[in-house]
Amino acid sequence: MARGDGRLTHDLLPGEKGPQDECGVFGVWAPGEDVARLTYFGLYALQHRGQESAGIAASNGDQILVYKDMGLVSQVFDDRALESLRGRIAVGHTRYSTTGASEWHNAQPTLGPTPVGTVALGHNGNLTNTRELVDVVAERSGEDLTGEMGRGSSTDTAVITSLLGCSGAEDEALEDVAARVFPMLEGAYSLVFMDEHTLYAARDPHGIRPLVLGRLERGWCVASETAALDIVGASIVREVEPGELIVIDADGLRSRRFAESTPHGCVFEYVYLARPDTRIAGVPVNAARTEMGRVLARENPVEADLVIPTPESGTPAAIGYAQESGIPFAQGLVKNSYVGRTFIQPTDTIRQLGIRLKLNPLREVIEGQRLVVVDDSIVRGNTQRALVRMLREAGAAEVHVRISSPPVKWPCFYGIDFATRAELIANGLNLDEIRDNIGADSLGYISVEGMVAATSLPESRLCTACFTGRYPVPIREGATVSGCEMPGMRELSELAVTEGAS
């Protein structure tokens, strides 16, 4: 695996603890292809899902090497690094941290021993029963993954790796071990992993985070989003089903079910997280976002001169709002593409500086105009507060903010950095108070019903917990989000009932 300077070693990566990542995963089985380079391009297409670290593991049939480091995909890998990762199988990962520290030892894929070889694993999601699983690892292997005796990581990804390593009998296939281990996991997980000869992919029974299967001319690949399959020239076969384990080796592809499927895909993927050129559950994300804008215009009309988006994620909804309202669409803000997403930065200071670096108003477009500013969400309120101030300084006559998702009022325990309830601006402030807080002339959110309808999926197939407080997977006592212990499912349910969210 790679050390902090990217150099390759053969040491095994230690077990890891306490996760919350919104990440991108990619895996490929393709004898005769440059699997490391295919994985590199796949991760490049998934860069929006994490900008803190990147890694690739590859197997030549005899051994697995991992190369990883902090930074963007293009910063971590060069030709020399990719040349060192020869083989027929590769898995890759791009990450940002939420509770897990932004440090090299938390980068993925993880690497660990099993009775029959080695496993390298990349994880997108967040487990809600990590503490219980750490105890299982300690009981089965004697390994302490906590405190000073732990192995130096603060994510749950290698807790899964450790479980795979300590749960199998001698000569038991990793496929069989995985099918027995995964029902123990609670929460959200989309996994790509490998041993020396086989590529695996698995998705939690609720399918909270996306995962898709693609076909190459001489192999197979799996990815967090269909856009990554497009980039590497793979045809989209289907989604990995919730509760499904896929196994790909020299004998071909086979599938087995380790849990009953109860789909609850994350609705925020449609709102913000996924690339607009991705399809999830057969639904084009760009089309869903445009429809959210149309619904938003019907639910929250206003007299104005221009509709402008907060680029880039607000653009499809702004187009939909303009189409439905008849108000002209304009690009009133210029985005610096080299500044990362503001809500996933580690401190408020960096977030606020990032907003100014990221967006700049076009004065000749907005001066003297009544503006409808369409954005995808309000989390802490920092972006909108700074944005409204910038637009007024640039001469806007009125600023009407429209949001293509409902108020975010609940923390995400399934892998998105929404912070604690206390940090969410929609908790403790009503609509008028949020409007005053961000300095807008008016503020309107889409309804939960309108957002769900825009996806064309029934609400029963979606996770809307961050908007409604209805969690599809029970939250255990002591579960953490953004480093803070949160109440268990009973307390969360009582809060939801109190606020009319259940």
DSSP β-ladder status, 219-223 and 235-239: unpaired
Q: Which residue among the candidates 23, 166, 221, 484 is catalytic per the annotation? A: 23
Beta bridge partners of 119: 112
Beta bridge partners of 66: 57
Gap between the Cα atoms of 391 and 395, Å rounded: 6
Selection from 394, 490, 34 nearest residue 221 by Cα: 34
Please indicate if the annotation marks 466 as binding a ligand.
Answer: yes
Instruction: Determine the Cα angle at 25 with ends 20 and 30, to 5°.
Output: 160
Residue the block writes with tokens 């009981």 = 139
Please indicate if the annotation marks 221 as binding a ligand.
Answer: no
Please state the φ and ψ torsions of residue 142, each to the nearest 5 degrees: 80, 0
Under 8 Å between Cβ of 293 and 387: no
Residue the block writes with tokens 């500044």 = 339
- Per DSSP (E only), the strands in 244-390 are 244-249, 252-257, 265-266, 279-280, 283-284, 306-309, 333-335, 359-361, 370-375
Could you write out the DSSP letters of every residue in 224-270?
SSHHHHHHTTPEEEEEPPTTEEEEEETTEEEEEESS-----EETHII
Instruction: Determine the Cα angle at 46 with ends 53 and 93, to 5°.
Output: 40
Gap between the Cα atoms of 231 and 44, Å rounded: 9
CB atoms closer than 10 angstroms to residue 171: 7
At 61, which amino acid appears? G
Please indicate if the annotation marks 484 as binding a ligand.
Answer: no
Please state the φ and ψ torsions of residue 389, each to the nearest 5 degrees: -60, -45
Please indicate if the annotation marks 313 as binding a ligand.
Answer: yes
Gap between the Cα atoms of 463 and 366, Å rounded: 37
Under 8 Å between Cβ of 24 and 94: yes
Looking at the chain, how many residues does it have?
Answer: 502
At 330 the three-state DSSP class reads coil
CB atoms closer than 10 angstroms to residue 490: 11
Please indicate if the annotation marks 375 as binding a ligand.
Answer: yes
Please indicate if the annotation marks 62 as binding a ligand.
Answer: no
Gap between the Cα atoms of 38 and 43, Å rounded: 9
Query: What is the dihedral sign for C-alpha 237, 242, 244, 245?
Result: positive
Selection from 198, 189, 165 nearest residue 57 by Cα: 198
CB atoms closer than 10 angstroms to residue 361: 21
- Examine the residue annotation and report whether 166 is marked as an active-site residue of this protein: no
Gap between the Cα atoms of 370 and 402, Å rounded: 13
Selection from 166, 192, 197, 196 nearest residue 181 by Cα: 166
Q: CA separation (Å) from 52 to 95, 102, 150, 157, 182? A: 6, 7, 23, 16, 27
Please indicate if the annotation marks 266 as binding a ligand.
Answer: yes
Q: What residues are annotated to the active site?
A: 23
Residues in binding site: 266, 313, 375-376, 412, 463, 466
Binding-site residue ranges for [4Fe-4S] cluster: 266, 412, 463, 466
Residue numbering of the annotated binding site for Mg(2+): 313, 375-376
